[in-house]
Amino acid sequence: MSILMDVTKIQQFIPHRYPFLFVDKVLSIAENEIVAIKNVSINEPFFQGHFPGAPVMPGVLIVEALAQAAGVFMGYHLEQQGQSMDDKLMFFMSIDQVKFRQVVAPGDQIVLQVNLVQKRGSIAKFEAKAKVDDKVATEASFMAMLSDKVS
């Protein structure tokens, strides 16, 4: 099933907000995959210090963008089952096989491709790639857990 989701809808599935929301739009969600976009702007606050005169998006924030796309994926599928992310958060459990293959800079558009590999109960395993101009910039495998919010 292919859909288009804007940032307003994305914010219904994950709690992240400016300056820590790294998914701008969802191009498609299928049974085991989400494809989303992160537009990289020079106005990102991290560029002030990473690196002055040679702005580079921190790799850990690219991995965070992939994880946020996975969170949107999980939230969407919960909604399809009549449930909600309102009382849940998704947390990293492990991150493996991370590779940074090219620099991401202001003006780039990152295509976030996240595939669900396995799901057991509240734990899910994902394989993910972040691409710029059809070239892999970052790839990783990670596990995440849906958990009830702690108040």
List the catalytic residues.
Answer: 50
The H-assigned helical ranges of 3-148 are 7-13, 59-80
Buried b (16+ CB within 10 A) or exposed e, 78-94: beeeeeebeebebeeee
CB 79 within 8 A of CB 7: no
Find all residues with CB under 8 Å of 83, minimum gap 6, and list them. none
User: Cα separation of 97 and 81, whole Å?
Assistant: 32
